[in-house]
Every structure is written in C-alpha cells, then in structure tokens.
Structure 1
Amino acid sequence: MLEIDHFSHGLLTPAVAYVMSFTGSLLGLRCMARARTGTARDGWLIAAAVAIGGTGIWVMHFIAMLGFAINGASIRYDVPITLLSALIAMGVVWLGLGIAQQRTLGPLGLFIGGAITGAGVGAMHYAGMYAMKSDAAIGYDLWIVALSIVIAVVAATAALWFTLHVRGTLATIGAALVMGVAVSGMHYTGMSAMHVREAQHLHPPTGAGAMQLLTPLIVGISLVTVLLLLHLGSTDVNEENADTSRASRSATYWPTRD
C-alpha cells in the first residue's frame, strides 16, 4: 500500500476549504431569504444553488483536494469530468431547493429534496475523484462510501430545512457554520474510503495538474461569489413581512382545523 496524505499543506487547505463552505452556505441562505419574498424567486433560487453547490460544496471539495497527495505517485485531473462535477453540484442543489419549496408536497418535499440533493452531492464527490488520474491503483472501501452518502443525504436534508426556516442574522450564521461542518465531514469521510497501491503496468497519467486546473476554476467561482455578495449587499429584504406573506400563502394549502 502507498501512503496517502490528505494534509500535504498542513491545516491550510482544510481551513480554507471550511471557510469557503461556510461562505457559500451563508450566501445561499441569504439568497433563499430573498427568494421567500416572492420577488425574482427563480433568480434567487439559481443564485442560492450557485452559492451552496458551487462555492459551499464544489469549491470546498477541490480546495481540500489541493492538499491531497499520494506519496510516490503522480496525480492529474481530467478537465471535462472535473467541470461536470461542478455542474452536478449546482444542479442537484437547485433541484433540491425547488422540490423542498413545493408546498403541495408538504413535509415530504423536504425529504425528497434532501435525498436527491444528498445523492447528487455524493455523485459530485466521486465524479471529482474519478476525474483524478494517477499511476497508482486506486480502490474504495464500499462501506465507507455508503456512509459518506448517508452523511450527504442527512446534511442535505438539514441544509434544505435551514433554507426554509432559518430567520435572522445570528441564526443564519449558525446554520452556515453547521452546514460547513457537514460538507467538510462528508468530504473527508469519502476520502477516507480511498486506498492505493503500486501498479506495475499503469502509464503515467495525463491531464492537468492540480494547481494548473483547479486554481482558475476556484478563482472563477470565487469571483462569482464576491459578485453575489455585492448584489446581496445592494438589496434589502424584510424577512418579517416575507414570513407573513409566506404564511398567508401556505394557509391556502394547509388550512387550520378548529
């Protein structure tokens, strides 16, 4: 067996990865607060999916991967599959948010959306791992893989619940902190499933190096995050009025009983 190092740059990469996951989650929750007002709802849903799926999940994953190394082996990345993994992350979050927001489904929508989003996040993670090519033979412990998917589904369901119910600045920050821990926990659980060994007949991998590929992608999505932050700062939302409006609309679907 070859030795795997998840922290080749020390605690720098996991710390920065967590900060990005927290930032993306925080922005996504604030976008959902805007979506609850009913103004440009679809646009804010897309913005939330980019923030949570792109920054909070995908950027977190690949910043953490910058600290990943296999001692005695080289690593390259398949560019199209890496890009596909980013689209998967944002797409499943958008789908999950949309399903969870469907009042006709009631509480069931939260669990359906959480299951789809969590499974999609797992698919994003392992698509990103599949994009990683090496001259070492890579395998996975299926039990730990299954555990990472369960964590992803639970974390996604909790995140969707936060987007529906969290109100106020302090509560939003607290929820984003929890979401960052959940995303990071899923990532490192999934990574712990990997094992590698020497392979005599594998050719040197082709593709882009980690810094060559990931740096421009991470910088690009981070710039989108900054622009989204600026846009959020230029808009205002009265969450109390939004909640009142939302409650009156919900009464149409969930009439109270005497």
Structure 2
Amino acid sequence: MPAPFNAFKQALKQGDTVFGCWLGLADTYSAELMGTAGFDWLVIDGEHAPNDLRSIMAQLQVLEASDSHPVVRVPVGETYLIKQMLDAGAQTLLVPMVDNADQARQLVRDVTYPPHGDRGVGYALTRAARFSQIADYGTTADDEICLLVQVESVKGLENLNAILAVDGIDGVFIGPADLAADMGYMGNALHPDVQDAIMTALHKIHAAGKAPGILSTHDDMTRDALEAGAQFVAVGADVLLLSHAAQALAGKWRDTLT
C-alpha cells in the first residue's frame, strides 16, 4: 500500500486555483468547524498561533474527515521540526522566512528520505504510515509530500530566481506583512511599492513553473494576485473572522443604546 495521495499537490501541479483560510485559534473544535466551511485548504499555523506538535497533530486528525486539505506552517525551517510534523501526518508544509537557495535546498532534503535527503526513517512508528500499516510508505512518501516556501523579505526577493531553480520546491508563497515591514511599510501591505513587488514576484513564480501563493483579505488585492498567477490563495483567517464578526455584533447592539 502506498502513501496517501496528496490531492492538493496534484491540484497545484495541474495549475488549478485553490482557496484557503488560516487557522490561528489552535483548537480542534474550531478547526473541525472550518473544515466544514468549504475551503480547499486550511493552514494550521505553527508560527504565529499558540500551537505545538500535539495541538497540530490533533487538528490534522479532525481535518482528516473533511474535504479541506491541511497545510502545516512550521515556526521555522528546522530539520527536527519538519521531521516531527511529517511523522505526525502532515503532507504539505509551509516554511516561513526562506531567503536563499541554500535554505531551500536543505528544506528539500528535510522532507526527502535517504539516499537523496535527510528525513529520518522511523515511519513504522508513526501516524503518517498508519502505525506500520502502510508497508510501502518509505518508498512512496516522497512523491506525496508538498513543500511550500515563504519568501517575505527584500533579500528573499533578490534571491527569488535562485530559489525557484531549486528542484523539489512545489510552490512559493509571498508573505505580504513581513515583506511590507522589510520594505519600510510596517502594517501597510497595500502600499503601491509593496503591491508592485508582490505581483512581480507572483508573475515570476508562475513563469518558473512553480505554484504561486498569497494571503489576502482585501478583494482588490486578491483579484490582482489571481491575475498575476496566484494558485493557492488564502482569503481569510479564523481569528479575524471571529473577531470582526464579534465586534460588529457587539457594536450593533451597543449603538442602539446611544
């Protein structure tokens, strides 16, 4: 029996556009709820949400029953963290702060079994291999792992061509908030200079045959990104959806008293 088929990776390879949402509440109940909403993919965020290995694994478990593909964002591109996330069952990883091709090459090795990579061979004990029930996991897993890297700095954009030349990278995600800050526009990802840099990068990623990705909660930016070739597009975050809806509801009824 081979490793589970990664439909998200196949969709990107086919050039499909898939819409997603961020999961930052770090809770299985809300993750399960989001899995019923109809998104193609959901990011379990290990960088800016209070998640750890066990909470990420628990969310992977509840999302297995949904049609939304889980993408795990690790807090940093460290080999040991990547090994743990893959063994816990993640098949698609999003790695932040990739600034150069050397980092990208090591990440490819991190998600690949020997002799071509550094992933530890202990799958018989893991959830990824259904606790040794997937006998062919070791020989088939590499093909079903999807590696997405985040380029979100001026340095990263300068090295984008070299990063795109690394074999084994499935997609490149442009991080608007960090890029804006690095360009001197903290909190203003909609600044024309930042938008120009983002759209230029998305065009370049698409032209290189990799899948371009973006997070955008502004409709005009989302449309521009789609026109620039973006394929995996996150259009919201559970924290923002809850926060904004709650504030609007509270304000609606509080305003009736004034």
TM-score by length of 1: 0.29
Bigger strand fraction: 2
Q: RCO (CA 8 Å, sep 6+): is it higher in 1 or 2? A: 1
Bigger helix fraction: 1
Larger radius of gyration: 1
